[in-house]
Every structure is written in structure tokens, then in C-alpha cells.
Structure 1
């Protein structure tokens, strides 16, 4: 099982400070009290977990050569030169395998989201006209 790190761009923000009615700041210029961030949306958390599971399954289905390059480059965050050195392959081979892995994952996720969209919104289904 591959453990996927949480994307850096979605990390929780620090608590926001706000003032109280009639008094917006203390003597030192800081806000009067600290308010925590909004809790995560349960539906969003469920979808993220479901999407992660689909992604993990798609990664597992990649050919071994593409999977090991993808895991080292994208999950372990190694640069192409490091991956090439670890696997004893050329940098162009790393780029090619990574490109093919990304394409395969894109197709798998596209199929998942297309199916999900058609389940939740019947207006998105493609209608074919018979002759």
C-alpha cells in the first residue's frame, strides 16, 4: 500500500484573529481574540478520500517501470536526476515513463469522474440519436 502525502496547497491555514464588537485591537496592536478556521466539509472529505482511493488503485495498476518512476518522482518528490540514478536509467527515460504514467492516471481519473458526474447529474450524459 502506498501512503500519499496531503497536498501542500491544501494544508490548513493558521487561525484568524478578529476583534470584539466595540474593541478591535488590544493595546499592543494585536487583535483581541483568536478564532479557529472552519471545520472541513464532510462531503468534501469523503470525496477526497474516495478520490485518493481511486488514485491509489490506478497507481497500483500501472506497469512496474512506470509505477516506480511515478512514486519516486511524484510521491517521494525526487527530481529526475535522482530518479535516474536510483533506477540506473537515463533522464529521458525517466521523463518518458513519468509522462506515460501521468497519462494512464489521467485516463483512469477521467473515467472515474465521468462516471461520477453521470451518476449525480443526468443532464451530463451524452445522448445519441438513432438514424
Structure 2
């Protein structure tokens, strides 16, 4: 299989329809995209479907890549869209959190840490990463999707709101609630208590 030396060469080859380019794209990005899809869908079978749809779409529409972001970011967005379409079809009932309560910017405590797991900015042990993944999997669909888009993929509040068709205020509330739940999950782990168990005195 032909391997392209740079991302730019790979992009050019994809746009020209070279048969080996798509295989190289899959080889390079499958692990990252699968992790994103699995976090989003919380189901290995659904994640595999999202992964397949992502690369089919990317290889079929390579000419639409304009280079304003990295190739990885473009693939993340395609995976996001594919996953969100599947979640919408599931029509999982959720409680409304669009209600106008505590929506000003001061609502989110300043002491909350940035939960971003961008590999370029976060240094986590494998064990901590597993604990975080477990915590993300336990979030409800509305909270998990917002957390992934904002903190894992780095989309802005406005971009996340536009993708999901909700208000920016709702994005802030969902993100805050997701972070609080994950903070509690990690706190139990760091205190030596398995998540979901009560600490004994």
C-alpha cells in the first residue's frame, strides 16, 4: 500500500481520486476517529458504523476539504455529524435543559478545571484515561455529546449550538453539568473509592 509522506500529499491524492489515498487515510486516522465515535455513541457496533460512514464520506467528498483546519479536525466533524444523525434517529427522550435558569457567564464556577483531553495538551496515565472514558460513557446523551464537542474536539460554544440546534445558553448549562459529573467521578477514583460506591468511614 502506498504511504504518502505528508498530509498535504495525502489530501492532493484524495482529491485526485488515487485509489491508495483512501486506504492511507483510514490507516492514519481510524484509531482516533473510532475513539471519538465510541465516546459519542457509547456502543461499539454503532461506533463501527460511524467510523465506516466517516471514511466513506471523506473519500467521496475529498474535494470539499478546503484546508482551513487539519485533516483530523475535518474527519472529527464528519464523524460528529454521522453520530449525531444516528442519535437523533434513536430519539432518546431527554429532559429539557433549555429553561432560562442560571445562564449568565458567571454560572460556571471559575475554579472548574479544563477537562480537555486533547492529546497535545493533556497528560493522563492510561488508568486515568480509562476512568475518564468510563465517566464520559455514563453521561446522558445530551451531556455527553456537548462535552465531546466542546472539550474533546475543541468546538466553540457557537459551533456546538449550531451543530445541535440548541441555544448557546443550553450548551453552557449542559457542559457545566457534564463537567461536574465527571469531576465527581474522578474525585471518587482519586479518593480510592470506585465510582458509584459510598466511601466508608
The verdict on a shared fold, with TM-score over 0.5 as the criterion, is yes
Q: Does 1:6 align with 2:119?
A: yes
- C-alpha distance in 2, partners of 1:54/1:9? 14
**Which one of the candidate residues 108, 132, 138 is aligned to 1:55?**
132
Is 1:75 aligned with 2:152?
yes
State the superposition RMSD in angstroms.
2.4
Which TM-score applies when normalising by structure 2? 0.38
Contact preservation (8 Å) 2:160, 2:171: yes
Q: CA deviation at 1:99?
A: 0.0
Aligned to 1:115, the other structure's residue is in SS state coil
Could you list the structure 1 runs, at least 4 aligned residues long, displaced by more than 3 angstroms after superposition.
2-5
Partner of 1:2, secondary structure, is helix
Higher fraction of strand: 1
Deviations 1:11-33 (A, max 9, x none): xxxxxxxxxxxxxxxxxxxxxxx
In 2: Cα distance, 1:89 partner to 1:54 partner: 29
| 113 and 9 in structure 1: CA distance in 2 versus 1, 3 angstrom threshold | closer
Q: Secondary structure at the match of 1:8?
A: coil
Provide the aligned length of Structure 1 versus Structure 2: 83
State the Cα deviation string for residues 34-88 of structure 1 (Å, max 9, x = none). Answer: xxxxxxxxxxxxx710000000010000010000000000011000000000000
